Amino acid sequence: MSAQAAQAGAWLRDPGRSFVSSSITATQAGDGSSSTYLEYGLNDRLTLGADVFFAFDRFGNQGGYGTLFLRLPLGSTDRPNKWAIDVGGGAAWLGGEVLPHLKTGLSWGRGYRLRQRAGWIAVDASVFWDLTYSRHVAKLDTTVGLALGDHVKAMMQVFYASVDGVGTTTYAPSLLIEPGRGTYSLQVGVEMPAGDYGDPSLKLGVWRRF
> CB-hemisphere CA count at 13 Å for 13?
21
DSSP state of 1: -
Query: Any residues with CB less than 8 A from the CB of 157 and at least 6 apart, and which?
Result: 5, 141, 142, 143, 144, 171, 172, 173, 174
Residue 86, pLDDT score:
96
Question: Cα–Cα distance between 76 and 47 in angstroms, integer?
Answer: 15
Look at residue 140 and tell me whether its pLDDT is greater than 50: yes
What is the mean pLDDT of the segment spanning 59-67? 92
What is the mean pLDDT of the segment spanning 171-200? 88
Instruction: Render pLDDT for 85-135 as a digit per residue (tens, 0 to 9).
Output: 999 999 999 888 999 999 999 999 999 999 889 999 999 999 999 999 989
pTM of the entire predicted model: 0.89
Average pLDDT in the chain: 91
Q: Which domains does the chain have, with CATH numbers?
A: 17-209 (2.40.160.40)
Residue 55, pLDDT score:
94
